[in-house]
Amino acid sequence: MITFQEALNHTTKEIPELDTELIHLRDSYGRVLAQNVYSDINMPPFNKAAVDGFACRRVDLEEPLEVIETIAAGKVSQRTVAEGKCAKIMTGAMLPKGADCVVMVEQTELLADGRVKILNLKTKNNIAYKAEDIKTGELVLQSNTLIAPQHQAVMAAVGATKIIVYRKARVAVFSTGDELVEPEQQPEQGKIRNSNGIQLVNQASRMGCEVRYGGIIPDTAEDSERMIREAYHWSDVILLSGGISMGEFDFIPAVLQKLQFDIKFRTISVQPGKPTVFGRSGDKFVMALPGNPISSFNIFELLAKPMIYRLMGYAYTAKRFEFPLAVDYKRKRSVRLAFIPAILNENGVNPVGYHGSAHINALSAANVLFEIPVGTTEMLKGEKVHVRFI
Ligand code: AMP
Ligand code: MG
């Protein structure tokens, strides 16, 4: 049995990045940049008004000013603001020649003769200066950035419409177990519905993977081998759930070895989630997760997600925060690092009623997992615990 940190080292070190492809900016949400992005323009490209108001010369502010024109956003003024003059100007419009400040419309008064009186003689300049945000040629986004809408906004501004990103990881998902039926079926006696299948498919999908669901593998060595072999050719990562404990029908580890996977670990000191198999064969990876739905969910988040993101070029590390426990918490044994579903609210961290790792509605009510370190059986209300959002 290895520690959680050792397992994480296996799933995050020496993971090769996938190939890259050229895509359009509009398809880039959730993808990972495989190039730096530089600006092809200055931002702003010209001195522009930061407010609606009057473009003036600061030396002239004491006397009422004659308004020579109105400059709308997107228009270029051909005139010069000379002594005693000003131009009405809209936010975002290019500053006219001669002007060195823009007085907010709220700080002016329109006189009966059509001139404008400036009420705030100490006005700020209210100008967004050329290139103050971004200079032509400047690096605006670094390679290996996971692209969110705000990154797309930057790329749109600098005209980066064709970009190179890492290809999506191809992930095959299987459930294992003769007791499983698919969710649309009514389980006969002794059977349960497959809940890990859809959970894993969408844990991978929401990371931007290309996912294929391969169905339920019956508990036989032959079926396991045949179905995993089929998925092997297409996928970068095979995710399985169940079939890896010490039961008589837990065939998966032996099958993976037969398929030439180099098994990096088989048990980890994590609760829940002790039986977890991680293997590698060349550039292909397999992770067999515990069958229990909470264990399966947790181990995907804790170990599979960082691994798959690295394949896709993104150095994901889970963010952990400290919050106080809202109640006392006890557990019987302390040999494993525990990740317990909890609800984080204004009172702190509230562990959800949780009978064991099969208790899925406990997980669906939770918004965080909190950690109980190895060696700790009891934590008191108010004590700080590490949480990660799920
Ligand atoms: P196993 O690791 O195959 O021994 O499974 C451990 C437990 O998780 C058993 O109670 C299984 O019935 C349950 N289980 C396994 N796979 C699934 C699944 N896909 N959906 C829901 N429960 C499962
Ligand atoms: Mg099973």
What the chain holds in terms of domains, given with CATH numbers, is: 4-17+168-311 (3.40.980.10), 20-43+133-166 (3.90.105.10), 48-128 (2.170.190.11), 321-389 (2.40.340.10)
* Prediction pTM value: 0.91
The strand pair at 275-281 and 270-271 is best described as: unpaired
Q: CA 233 to CA 265: how far, in whole Å?
A: 23
- Which residue is listed with tokens 């609210």? 345
Any idea which ligand is nearest the CA of 357?
1
Q: Are 32 and 144 in contact (CB under 8 A)?
A: yes
Distance 308 CA to ligand 2 centre (A): 25
Gap between the terminal Cα atoms of the chain: 26
Q: What is the pLDDT of residue 173?
A: 98
The residue whose C-alpha atom lies closest to atom 14 belonging to ligand 1 is: 291
Q: Ligand 1 test: best mutation among 180, 181, 201, 224, most atoms within 8 Å of CB?
A: 180
Please tell me the predicted confidence (pLDDT) of residue 104. 98
C-alpha to C-alpha distance for 297 and 292, rounded to whole angstroms: 9
Q: Is the distance from the beta carbon of residue 294 to the nearest atom of ligand 1 less than 6 Å?
A: no
Q: Which residue has the tokens 């993971």?
A: 15
Mean pLDDT (10-residue bins), the chain, 390 residues: 96 97 98 98 96 98 97 95 97 97 98 97 97 96 98 97 98 97 97 97 98 96 94 96 81 89 95 93 96 94 98 97 97 93 96 74 91 96 97
Give yes or no for residue 350 CB within 6 A of ligand 1: no
- Nearest ligand 1 atom to the CA of 241 is 16
Q: In the prediction, which pLDDT does 358 show?
A: 66
Determine whether the shortest distance from the Cβ of 180 to ligand 1 is under 6 A. yes
Helices (H), the chain: 4-12, 149-157, 196-205, 221-234, 252-258, 293-299, 305-311, 360-365
Q: CA-CA distance, 62 to 89, in Å (whole number)?
A: 19
